[in-house]
Structure 1
C-alpha cells in the first residue's frame, strides 16, 4: 500500500477513535422540587459541566446545583446561582449524580440548560523526540504520533469552541426571556394604571354631575350634611 494512502487512513482512524462523550439537555424544574440526573463516569477522566437558568417563570433566574460522587459525597455545590461552569477530575468509577434544586421557590418553574462533557485525562500532547539515529519504522511511528497530537489539539480546541457557542446560546435564550418578562411587567403595570385612571376619572365625573343635579343621591347627601352643620 502506498505510504501516503496509509498516512491518510491512519489520520481518519485517529479522528474516529477520539474518546469524548457529550450530553446536553434542557429541563424544567418545578417549584418545591429537586431533579437529579445520573451519568456513569470512569476514573481519571475530566468532566466539564456548565448550566444556565434561561427562564425563571416570572421570578428570579436562579437554581441550587450539587454534584455527588458514587459514594454520595458532595463534590461541588452552588446555592441560588443563575449559572456556572465547573471542571472535575474523577477519582472513582461509578454513577455520578447531578442535582438541580428548586425547593426554595414556591411558585416559579425554572428552565435550566445543562451541558456535560466527559473526556479522558490521558491525552499526550508532547512533541516527537529527535529522529537522528532511528530506523525508518521508528520515524514513521513518530510521525503518526505527531498526527495524533495535532488531532488531539484540534479536537480540544473544537470542544472548547462548541462549549462556548452553547453557553452563548443559553445566555441569549436567558436574555430573551428576561426581555419578555420585563415587557410583561411593563405591559401589566401600564394596563393597571389605565384602568385606575379610568375608574378615578369616572368617579370624578359622577361626583361633579351630582353636585348640579338636585335629584341625585349625592346632592341630597351633601344637603343633609350642610343641614347638620
Structure 2
C-alpha cells in the first residue's frame, strides 16, 4: 500500500491482531518531495505502549510476536518536515498461529493405521494443506513483487529529481557564462572607445 504524508502531518493505521499471531511490517519512503527520503515510524500495542520506533529513516522492517490481543496502531510521522510531502510504501502481513503446514513425512506417519473413511478425510485435509501452502507462497511472492515495485518507484523518483537538479544547475551556469561573456565584450569595447564613458572612467582611475 502506498500513502502520502503531507508536511507537518502524521497518519496512523489500525489493524486487529490476535494473541499468538506475528506482525511483519516493512516500509520505505519512495518520494521525498524534493527533500530527504525519511519518515518517522512507530508501532503501538492496544494499550498505547510503543513497541518499536524509528526516527527519520528511509526504510525498515519490523517483526513482532503478539502477546496482547487488540487493535495495533502504526503511524508515519512527517511533522518534522515543514514543506515536503512524503510518499511511503508499506506492507503489513499477519502470520496466524498454525499456518505452518506439515511436511510429507509427518503426513505419512499420521495416515498409518487409519480406516478408509479416515484416510479419505485425511487426504482431503492433505489437499487443503497443500492449497494453504500454495496460498502462503503466492502471498510471499506478491509481497516481494510489491517491494520490488517500491524500489523501482523510489529509484525512478531519485533519477527524476537528480535530472531536474542537473538541468537547473546547468541552466544557471550557462546563463552566468553568457552574462560574463557579454560583460567582458562590453568592457573591452568601452576601453578602446575614446568617447565612451568606460574609457573616461578608466583614464580617471589611471590618473
TM-score scaled to structure 1, two decimals? Answer: 0.82
Aligned: 1:212 with 2:192: yes
Indicate the larger mover: 218-227 or 85-94: 85-94
Q: Tell me, in whole angstroms, the C-alpha distance in 2 between the residues paired with 1:130 and 1:113.
A: 44
Identify which of 82, 87, 92 aligns with 1:116. Answer: 92
Q: 1:146 to 1:183 in 2, by over 3 A?
A: same
Residues 52-78 of structure 1 show CA distances to partners (whole Å, capped at 9, x for unaligned) of 111011122111111111111111122
> How far 1:133 moved relative to its partner?
2.8
- Equivalent in the alignment of 1:226: 206
Aligned: 1:201 with 2:181: yes
Q: Tell me, in whole angstroms, the C-alpha distance in 2 between the residues paired with 1:95 and 1:36.
A: 12
> How far 1:85 moved relative to its partner?
2.3
Contact 1:124–1:149 (CA<8 Å) still a contact in 2? Answer: no
SS in 1 for 2:29: strand
SS in 1 for 2:37: coil
Identify which of 52, 58, 67 aligns with 1:91. Answer: 67
- Equivalent in the alignment of 1:69: 45
Q: Tell me, in whole angstroms, the C-alpha distance in 1 between the residues paired with 2:62 and 2:132.
A: 22
Contact 1:63–1:82 (CA<8 Å) still a contact in 2? Answer: yes
- Equivalent in the alignment of 1:46: 22
- Equivalent in the alignment of 1:21: none
> How far 1:46 moved relative to its partner?
2.4
Q: Tell me, in whole angstroms, the C-alpha distance in 2 between the residues paired with 1:164 and 1:124.
A: 19
Residues 145-183 of structure 1 show CA distances to partners (whole Å, capped at 9, x for unaligned) of 211221221111111111000000000000000000110
Identify which of 94, 104, 109 aligns with 2:80. Answer: 104
Q: Tell me, in whole angstroms, the C-alpha distance in 2 between the residues paired with 1:205 and 1:80.
A: 51
> How far 1:124 moved relative to its partner?
4.9
SS in 2 for 1:28: strand
Q: Tell me, in whole angstroms, the C-alpha distance in 2 between the residues paired with 1:130 and 1:74.
A: 44
Q: 1:148 to 1:87 in 2, by over 3 A?
A: farther
> How far 1:35 moved relative to its partner?
1.6
- Equivalent in the alignment of 1:143: 123
Q: Tell me, in whole angstroms, the C-alpha distance in 2 between the residues paired with 1:164 and 1:33.
A: 29
CA-atom RMSD, angstroms?
1.6
Where in structure 1 are there 5+ consecutive unaligned residues?
A: 1-23
- Equivalent in the alignment of 2:161: 181
Aligned: 1:159 with 2:139: yes
